[in-house]
């Protein structure tokens, strides 16, 4: 997360309700006769104080975007959301229809607003479009070399045909999700990817998670260097995006969940 974020209070608006203090996870607020104020600036900058203030008296500097008003009671029907999640499939066949840049931005926006540990906001994204074939060529070359070793542990890989589009499947867009190193880095990136997949599917796009591409991105110095041109960090996962060229008619069966109520 960037530096230079300062919390301030507009005293003319503050009514000393104390909601900022009650909702603060770091207990940095004090309420006096003059109004509310912070006892220190060293906090997560999570924005709860800004979001909960009914008077819009609290602000945090240093962000490009202003807070947006929350429209309450707008949420998908539970049955619709569950049906959407149960009906998801990993898509490996895509049409040649391009994905507009504004849709890509909306998908990444879903990742941007996904929670991160300690509010680090350390997830970054590399969007591969025009030059994605060069990234795939390097990854495929590495994977062909590694397949004999992978086949020792995963027998179904021994006779797998690896063509030039083994990873990206001819899809128009690939988003590589990276995260800063740290205890929550992998979790932060994975959560962002999950939110992004739901957003992509709401636009009618198909999504494929790549498991081996992030591994190769860490092994190959060239690929790692190419993916680190703008942002550092570890490649957590990769989403292949495009309009599906296939249609599934029913859900896939799953084992019953193991649940323990205590």
Q: Provide the pLDDT for residue 231.
A: 79
Q: Tell me the pLDDT tens digit for each residue of 183-222.
A: 899 999 999 999 999 999 999 999 999 999 999 998 999 9
Q: Tell me the pLDDT tens digit for each residue of 123-163.
A: 999 999 999 999 999 999 999 988 878 777 877 777 778 99
Q: Provide the pLDDT for residue 157.
A: 72
Of all residues in the chain, the percent with pLDDT exceeding 90 is 83
Domains in the chain and their CATH numbers?
7-60 (3.30.70.20), 78-242 (3.40.109.10)
What pTM value is reported for the model? 0.92
1 pLDDT band, cuts 50/70/90, is low
- Measured distance CA(29)–CA(31) in Å, rounded: 7
Q: Provide the pLDDT for residue 3.
A: 67
């Amino acid at each position: 997360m960037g530096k230079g974020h300062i919390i301030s209070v507009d005293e003319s608006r503050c009514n000393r309700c104390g909601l900022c203090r009650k909702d603060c996870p770091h207990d940095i607020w004090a309420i006096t006769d003059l109004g509310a104020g912070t006892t220190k600036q060293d906090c997560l900058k999570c924005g709860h104080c800004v979001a909960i203030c009914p008077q819009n008296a609290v602000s945090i500097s240093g962000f490009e975007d202003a807070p947006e008003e929350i429209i309450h009671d707008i949420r998908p029907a539970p049955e619709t959301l569950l049906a959407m999640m149960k009906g998801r499939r990993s898509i490996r066949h895509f049409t040649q229809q391009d994905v507009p840049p504004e849709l890509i931005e909306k998908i990444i926006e879903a990742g941007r607003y996904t929670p991160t540990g300690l509010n680090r906001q350390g997830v970054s994204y590399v969007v591969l479009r025009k030059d994605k074939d060069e990234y795939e060529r390097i990854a495929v070359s590495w994977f062909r070399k590694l397949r004999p070793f992978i086949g020792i542990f995963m027998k179904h890989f021994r006779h797998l045909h690896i063509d030039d589009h083994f990873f990206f499947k001819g899809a128009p867009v690939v988003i590589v999700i990276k995260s800063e190193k740290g205890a929550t880095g992998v979790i932060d990136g994975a959560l962002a990817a999950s939110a992004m997949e739901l957003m992509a599917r709401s636009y009618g796009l198909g999504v494929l998670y790549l498991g081996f591409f992030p591994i190769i991105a860490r092994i190959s110095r060239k690929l790692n260097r190419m993916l680190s041109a703008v942002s550092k960090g570890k490649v957590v996962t990769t989403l292949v995006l495009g309009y599906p060229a296939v249609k599934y008619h029913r859900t896939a069966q799953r084992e019953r969940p193991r649940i323990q109520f205590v």
